Chain A
């Protein structure tokens, strides 16, 4: 009995240690963001913001181009999500519900496409866009992002569509609706949550991207939030407080959305393993 208890204590202690090591950088970012300069630049680290202040956040958002870059990020992300969702919905429908010649080739294509390193493609994409006078425009970045978001949106949506019980489709067909009509009427509401989860993942992908945006957008007022944050880091003698505040702000939408859909993905995973 006591060995069982000591085992438990051991594992709990270990778990706490792992938790502390993994989460510490995130904690350190947020706590630094709320510290006044005297607590940030202390010879012995101050572990908790005892005199919390919002001045770092004020400094961060008053830095040049913050709001312009927030807007750019939002414009790019929304355009990418909308377009990829429409295109992916159609393609996923084909994959999930049809057997057709070339289906396998298409699956190979969308999986292989995700394996091509985007940072290798920067060179030709930059040259093609500069030829077309599309460098330094948001539309160039949007189209570029579409390609790396699209394959995985197709794959994920397909997974969600497969999760729809086929009995439901069959039942509605028995009721006499046309196949396609029944299909859309039954399927659409059922994969609603899947559409939401997929679009959030597309959102996160596009929001986090850095190097494409850095290369394709020169003008500081036309850049995205990640590029804004990275230019912050570039300064020597970094202002750590405002930088951590900016980092927190950049991460915030992603973390919120991510935590919201994470359960769904975890569920999708187990469902996939159990489904016969």
Chain B
């Protein structure tokens, strides 16, 4: 959910550029006893109660028929795996899965490519320009999603939107009164641009921070040996930044796969089926068609797909956690 929130920074605070010698055992570490367990207990209780239980309940729900009648009685009707067999035999469901994956692939690659390019540009700049561009990126990063959607829908407004005017002015075509959501493809282009725009600053600043850690001697040595800038990037920079790239790519996949607010709000809370991603599909099935059991089944499939992707990320983060 924390899609692109500034807090995401916290997720990668100590991604290391260069692996170092293993740490000496921490002699002064406090002796363990009951203390650490008492310290983590409150957090565990909260996570268990507000996250563990709903997760379990969602699993349960996905095996039930839970409609309006059941909502009033607060009790579902057990139907086994029927919800799952229903969605797995539904062509539309697979369409939605495929669409979510395709969107994720497009958004993540665009984010990574542009994010890395801008980071490489930042390295080339003088101090003043670098501060200017960084400040701009930080403003974009800080913009809340709901606010960003409001601004973007104003920019693509069919009547007075600045985008239609600009494209007409540049003779790209006649965009007077052009409705960007009239065609599915251009609608998705708008959604993707919005998501990528919001995601670039985080990626850029993380990659830039990594780039500044690349030892100058290595680059100089390679230059003296006559390596081209591209070769230096490919054979020196990328291998050194690999941990950062792994974390950024897996985080981006996780965020983009579950993207919800941007689509939901751009389409005024009534996205037509061709704009359904898995999270939108699960949501509308539950809250608009009141089929909470079926919606839970869809949501659970989404969670499982995400957990597979997360595995890479979690492994990388646990390495960092272990290193201390």
**Chains A and B bind each other:** yes
A96 near B324: Cβ-Cβ < 8 Å: yes
What residues of A have a CB within 8 angstroms of the CB of B16 in the complex? 272-273
- C-alpha spacing A151/B2, complex, angstroms: 11
Interface bits B199-225 vs A (CB < 8 Å: 1, else 0)? 011000110011011000000000000
Could you tell me if A97 and B145 are in contact, using CB atoms closer than 8 angstroms? Answer: no
Q: Is A128 within 8 A of B14, CB to CB?
A: no
Beyond the given pairs A115-B254, A273-B14, 18 more chain A to chain B contacts, judged by CB atoms under 8 angstroms and listed by A's residue number, are: A12-B129, A23-B139, A42-B160, A45-B162, A90-B39, A90-B42, A96-B324, A115-B307, A116-B55, A119-B283, A120-B302, A124-B296, A143-B50, A152-B11, A201-B9, A202-B7, A268-B14, A269-B209
Counting CB contacts under 8 A, is A54 at the interface? no
Is the pair B151, A26 in contact by a Cβ cutoff of 8 Å?
A: yes
CB-based nearest B residue for A91: B43
The count of residues in chain B whose C-beta lies closer than 8 Å to any C-beta of chain A is 118
- CA–CA, A102 to B137, complex, Å? 40
Across the interface, do A121 and B283 meet the contact criterion of CB distance under 8 Å? no
- A3 contacts chain B at the CB level, 8 A cutoff: no
Q: How far is the CB of B282 from chain A (nearest CB, A)?
A: 6
CB contacts (< 8 Å) of A117 on chain B: these are: 1, 258, 279, 299, 302-303, 306
User: In whole Å, how far is A55's beta carbon from the nearest beta carbon of chain B?
Assistant: 17
Query: Which 8 pairs show the lowest CB-CB distances between chains A and B?
Result: A272-B14, A118-B1, A94-B39, A120-B299, A258-B142, A117-B258, A124-B54, A98-B36
Docked complex Cα distance between A122 and B1 (Å):
11
Q: Is A250 touching B147 in the complex (CB atoms < 8 A)?
A: yes
Query: Roughly how many angstroms separate A3 CA and B138 CA in the complex, as a whole number?
Result: 32
Give CA–CA (A208, B1) in the complex, Å: 11
Cβ of A112: which chain B residues have Cβ within 8 Å of it? 307, 310, 314
Query: Contacting A244 at CB < 8 Å: which of B9, B122, B150, B324?
Result: B150
Contact of B7 among A201, A270, A276 (CB under 8 A): A201
* CB neighbours of A127 from chain B (8 A): 57, 61, 66, 71, 74, 292
Q: Does B171 contact A (CB under 8 A)?
A: no
For A266, what are the chain B residues with a Cβ–Cβ distance below 8 Å? Answer: 205, 209
Show 7 A/B contacts (Cβ-Cβ < 8 Å), sorted by A.
A15-B129, A112-B314, A122-B283, A205-B2, A247-B146, A251-B142, A255-B139
Query: Which of B40, B66, B155, B292 has a CB less than 8 Å from the CB of A25?
Result: B155
For chain A, what secondary structure do more than half of its interface residues adopt (helix, strand, loop), or is it mixed?
Answer: helix
Does B39 contact A18, Cβ atoms closer than 8 Å?
no
Q: Interface residues, chain A, CB within 8 Å of chain B?
A: 8, 11-12, 14-16, 18-19, 22-23, 25-26, 28-29, 32, 40-45, 86-88, 90-91, 93-104, 106-128, 130-131, 143-144, 146-148, 150-156, 159, 162, 166, 169-170, 173, 179-180, 183, 198, 201-202, 204-205, 207-212, 215, 226, 229-230, 232-234, 238, 240, 243-244, 246-248, 250-251, 254-255, 258-259, 262, 265-266, 268-276
B276 within 8 A of A: no
Question: Chain B interface (Cβ within 8 Å of chain A)?
Answer: 1-2, 5-7, 9-18, 20-21, 23, 26, 28-30, 32, 35-37, 39-40, 42-44, 46-47, 50-51, 53-55, 57-58, 61, 66, 71, 74, 118, 121-122, 124-126, 129-130, 132-133, 136-155, 157, 159-160, 162, 165, 197, 200-201, 205-206, 209-210, 212-213, 254, 258, 260-261, 264-265, 268-269, 279, 282-283, 286-287, 292, 295-296, 299-300, 302-303, 306-307, 310, 313-314, 317-318, 321-322, 324
Are B20 and A276 touching (Cβ within 8 A)? yes
**In the bound complex, do residue B43 and residue A150 qualify as a contact, i.e. CB atoms below 8 Å apart?**
yes
| Contact present for B28 and A170 (CB under 8 Å) | yes
| Shortest beta-carbon distance from A59 to chain B in Å | 15
Contact A113 B47 (CB under 8 A): yes
A124-B57, A155-B10, A233-B265 as given contacts; A100 in contact with B200, CB under 8 Å: no
- Chain A residues with CB under 8 Å of B12's CB are 269
CB distance B54 to A270 under 8 Å?
no
- In the complex the two chains form, is A128's CB within 8 Å of B57's CB? yes
Given the interface pairs A120-B282, A128-B54, A233-B153, the reply to whether A156 lies near B13 with Cβ below 8 Å is: yes
Contact indicator A26/B144 (Cβ below 8 Å): no
Selected from B129, B147, B324, the residue in CB contact (under 8 A) with A229 is B147
Give which listed residue, B11, B17, B53, B141, contacts A128 with CB less than 8 A. B53
Question: Are A26 and B57 within 8 A (Cβ)?
Answer: no
The CA-CA distance from A207 to B145 in the complex, in Å, is: 11
Given contacts A123-B292, A125-B54, A266-B209, contact A233 B6 (CB under 8 A): no
